[in-house]
Amino acid sequence: MSDPEPVDRTRDAGADETRTDADVGAPDDAILRVRDLDAGYGELQILSGIDLDVGDGEYVTIVGPNGAGKSTVMKTVFGLTTYLGGTISFESEPIHELPPERIIHKGISYVPQSNNVFDGLTVRENLEMGAYILDTVPESRIEAVYDRFPVLRDRRDQKAGTMSGGQRQMVAMGRALMLDPDLLLLDEPSAGLAPDLVDDMFDRIDEINENGTAVLMVEQNATEALRRCDRGYVLTQGQNAYTDAGTRLLADEEVRQQFLGG
Amino acid sequence: MGATKLLDRGRGSRSLPLLLAWLVGILLVLDIGARLAGVEIPLAAGRTFGGSMSVAQFGGLVWNGVIVGLIFGLAGIGLSMTYSILNFANFSHGDLITTGAFTGWGAALLVSGWGLAEAGTLLLVRAASGPSPNEIGASIIQAPLAIAIGVVVAAVATVLVTVAIDRVVYRPMRDRGGIALLIASIGVALGLRYVVQFVFGSRSRGVTATDGVRTTIAGVSVNLHELTLFVVALVLMGGMHLLLQRTKLGTAMRAMADNKDLALVTGIPTERVVTATWILGGALAGVAGYLYVLERGTIEFNIGWFLLLFIFAAVILGGIGSIYGAIAGGLVIGLVHEVSLVWISGDFNAAAAFLIMVIVLLYRPEGLFSGVTTA
């Protein structure tokens, strides 16, 4: 883990000469650097020419209309799609040709949108599986996850499949946090949650990020996601449209009209 | 409203046969009670309700049911695991059982009959004429070590064959879907069976020595080979339970049976788990075949194939994907198979076992242990 201090993400604004002052560009200390990425599923190309960066400890959201390829970006970073061209590097190492189990070793964890817990396993077993690549399950990590989600400690012997949507999402995030990743990929973490739980979920993601873990998130609840993140990407038809500070994208009239429903 | 009505009608048309099945079941239980009590009530056409059956006779049937049930269950564990983790019904499982039986008994006869005949004859499980089983003396009394070595060899040899088949046939087809794999497994089953037949011959022959195997312990007559089967099967089932519930590998196997995609993104080495599944399933199948021959005393190239239908019945009845379901289903099928002999002749008791399977599936399509995936 790196620099645990809160960093002002906007400090790099204007560092890149080609951008206008209003832009908040990618930080120079990007741990994830995606360049000119083409990817898809088999023959079907979804993404073309994607550029995306996530800085160390940064909180980045991808928004865009349905079918823009938001989730595909995330899956491609994690090695779950067909790579067609371009580069993905993580902490300066190319990872675009690695399978998911190798990418986990590099320090990236991924929480899929649905079916993201092992229903037949207990909460504790779910967490243990998150640390499968380690020789022994670090008890301190399990405790850290329990501290973050206290309800999981109370329900550690309960089968994950019998839990509520919000609790399952906590199990899924807890599992992904078991390796203390440098980058956490979250695919629609608020999907399927009752409205009163959505805020709570976003608060927890804030906490995880404040602890130093970089977050790359796809969210249907774009307004809330942009409000909370450091920086947002707007994706349309498998291509980047804009990137800027989340709050500035929110304020942008065009973005609002096109992607956030006015 | 319409949907509710439809549902009700659906239930109504099914509840009558269910009631009938329960009624028949209760009558049969009462009949056994009457027979044990020696009560006989004449019915029409020379048939009677009740009759006479000694407790020992009935106990013998139940015991036989448990013994075959344990074989079905032990072999079924592997079938159920490959179904839930690899997503296909493996029709070559029966011939893995046969493989274990022949290789294990080859080793057991070689050890117990060393010097009595050519090593080749012994290793090929008396393929050629030679000393009789009683001369070779392969029994738990005369050669316990040979019997134990046979168990180990059956497991190891079957594992080697299973893993080799996976590497050559199933692994390249991993993403092809259940139907393609199922059909491939039928081909593997035929191939394996004919290799066994080619190597070991097609003659059905005795292998175990019988002297002193039936004895009396605490006033009860027991067959020591059946007792061996009982103990070894229970130990292996207990071991599987501990492995699945207490070890990291076992948890990963359950995780993978639950959700393969998530297992992949969690960093579980899925291919290694698949190999472990084949190893465990193959070992149990091989030992099941070996123990089956220990109990029945004779060996033949198609024993596993004939067992396979019962094992499928047991696994489906128990809820495919659950090892506990496989064990419970095995015991139910085994008990029905044997206890039905009270009323019907030995030519029909297999039908009774399958009838029970059909009835259970009609009313509980997901099997007895539904929703318990490899757990």
Average pLDDT, chain B: 87
Segment A137-157 mean pLDDT: 93
The larger pLDDT score, comparing residue A221 to residue B231, is at B231
Count of domains for chain B: 2
Is the confidence at residue A260, as pLDDT, over 90? no
Q: Is residue B12 assigned to a domain? A: no
Is the confidence at residue B354, as pLDDT, over 50? yes
- Which DSSP helix (H) or strand (E) runs through A52? strand A44-55
Please indicate, yes or no, whether residues B73 and B160 belong to a single structural domain of this protein: yes
The larger pLDDT score, comparing residue A255 to residue B86, is at B86
- Contact between A100 and B373 using a beta-carbon 8 Å cutoff: no
Q: Which of B70, B50, B79 is closest to B234 using CA atoms?
A: B70
- Contact between A125 and B252 using a beta-carbon 8 Å cutoff: no
List all residues 6 or more positions away from B20 whose beta carbon is below 8 Å from its beta carbon.
none
Please indicate, yes or no, whether residues B176 and B29 belong to a single structural domain of this protein: no
Please indicate, yes or no, whether residues B166 and B26 belong to a single structural domain of this protein: no
Please indicate, yes or no, whether residues B66 and B115 belong to a single structural domain of this protein: yes
Q: For position A13, what pLDDT does the model report?
A: 40
Q: Using one digit for the tens of pLDDT, what is the confidence trace for B125-161?
A: 887 777 888 888 888 888 899 999 999 999 999 999 9
Confidence of residue B165 (pLDDT cuts 50, 70, 90): very high
Q: Using one digit for the tens of pLDDT, what is the confidence trace for B117-133?
A: 888 888 888 877 778 88
Please indicate, yes or no, whether residues B59 and B48 belong to a single structural domain of this protein: no
Report the alpha-carbon distance of residue B196 to residue B201 in Å, rounded.
7
Residue in this structure with the two tokens 């198609």, named with its chain if needed: B302
Q: Is residue B13 assigned to a domain? A: no
Residue of A76, A118, A173 to mutate for B, most B C-beta atoms under 10 A: A118
List all residues 6 or more positions away from A67 whose beta carbon is below 8 Å from its beta carbon.
none
∠ CA A157-A161-A165, nearest 5°, is: 110
Last residue of a domain, one of B11, B36, B53: B53
Is the confidence at residue A41, as pLDDT, over 70? yes
Please indicate, yes or no, whether residues B229 and B124 belong to a single structural domain of this protein: yes
Report the alpha-carbon distance of residue B321 to residue A184 in Å, rounded.
33
Is the confidence at residue A134, as pLDDT, over 80? yes
Please indicate, yes or no, whether residues B197 and B240 belong to a single structural domain of this protein: yes
Residue B117: half-sphere exposure toward Cβ, Cα within 13 Å? 23
Task: Give the type of residue at B286.
Answer: G
Q: Is residue B9 assigned to a domain? A: no
Which CATH number is correct for A28-107+216-256, 3.40.50.300, 1.20.1270.10, 3.90.420.10, 3.40.50.720? 3.40.50.300
Residue B135: half-sphere exposure toward Cβ, Cα within 13 Å? 10
List the 44-103 stretch of B: residues with Cβ below 8 A of A.
none
DSSP assignment of B190-249: HHHHHHHHHHH-S--EE-S--TTTEEEETTEEEEHHHHHHHHHHHHHHHHHHHHHHHSHH
Is the confidence at residue B227, as pLDDT, over 90? yes
Measured between CB atoms, does B252 come within 8 Å of chain A?
A: yes
Q: Cβ(B223)–Cβ(A77) under 8 Å?
A: no
Q: Which of B65, B93, B80, B133 is closest to B322 using CA atoms?
A: B80
Segment A76-100 mean pLDDT: 92
- Strand, helix or coil at A93? strand
List all residues 6 or more positions away from B337 whose beta carbon is below 8 Å from its beta carbon.
B65, B68, B310, B349, B350, B352, B353
Report the alpha-carbon distance of residue A200 to residue A195 in Å, rounded.
10
- Distances in Å between the Cα of A166 and the Cα atoms of A126, A156, A169, B283, B287 are 15, 15, 5, 42, 46
- Distances in Å between the Cα of A81 and the Cα atoms of A37, A159, B90 are 12, 30, 30
Of all residues in chain B, the one with the smallest CA distance to A125 is B251
Q: Is residue B8 assigned to a domain? A: no
Query: Which region among A23-32, A162-171, B48-57, B164-173 has the lowest average model confidence (pLDDT)?
Result: A23-32
Report the alpha-carbon distance of residue A177 to residue A144 in Å, rounded.
9
Is the confidence at residue A197, as pLDDT, over 90? no
Measured between CB atoms, does B259 come within 8 Å of chain A?
A: yes
Residue B71: half-sphere exposure toward Cβ, Cα within 13 Å? 32
Domain ranges of chain A: 28-107+216-256
The interface predicted TM-score (ipTM) is 0.84
Q: Using one digit for the tens of pLDDT, what is the confidence trace for B52-83?
A: 788 888 888 999 999 999 999 999 999 999 99
Please indicate, yes or no, whether residues B31 and B164 belong to a single structural domain of this protein: no
Report the alpha-carbon distance of residue B345 to residue B342 in Å, rounded.
8
Segment B245-258 mean pLDDT: 93
Q: For position B141, what pLDDT does the model report?
A: 84
Alpha helices in B117-168 (DSSP H): 119-123, 133-136, 144-165
Q: Is residue B71 assigned to a domain? A: yes
DSSP-assigned letter for residue B44: G
Q: How many CB atoms lie within 10 A of CB B97?
A: 34
Please indicate, yes or no, whether residues B36 and B71 belong to a single structural domain of this protein: no
List all residues 6 or more positions away from B238 whose beta carbon is below 8 Å from its beta carbon.
none
Please indicate, yes or no, whether residues B216 and B269 belong to a single structural domain of this protein: yes
Q: Is residue B293 assigned to a domain? A: yes
Is the confidence at residue A198, as pLDDT, over 70? yes
Please indicate, yes or no, whether residues B27 and B144 belong to a single structural domain of this protein: no
Q: For position B370, what pLDDT does the model report?
A: 63
Segment A178-199 mean pLDDT: 90
**B137 φ/ψ angles, rounded to the nearest 5 degrees:** 75, 35
Tell me which residue range forms the domain holding B257: 54-363
List all residues 6 or more positions away from B146 whose beta carbon is below 8 Å from its beta carbon.
B107, B108, B109, B111, B112, B138
- Contact between B262 and A110 using a beta-carbon 8 Å cutoff: no
> How many Cβ pairs within 8 Å bridge chains A and B?
66
Please indicate, yes or no, whether residues B200 and B322 belong to a single structural domain of this protein: yes
- Distances in Å between the Cα of A109 and the Cα atoms of A146, B186, B223 are 18, 40, 57
Report the CATH number that the domain containing residue B132 is assigned in CATH: 1.10.3470
- Contact between B259 and A133 using a beta-carbon 8 Å cutoff: no
Which two tokens mark B133? 């089983």
List all residues 6 or more positions away from A240 whose beta carbon is below 8 Å from its beta carbon.
A49, A50, A51, A52, A233, A234
Nearest to A121 among B251, B261, B269 (CB): B251
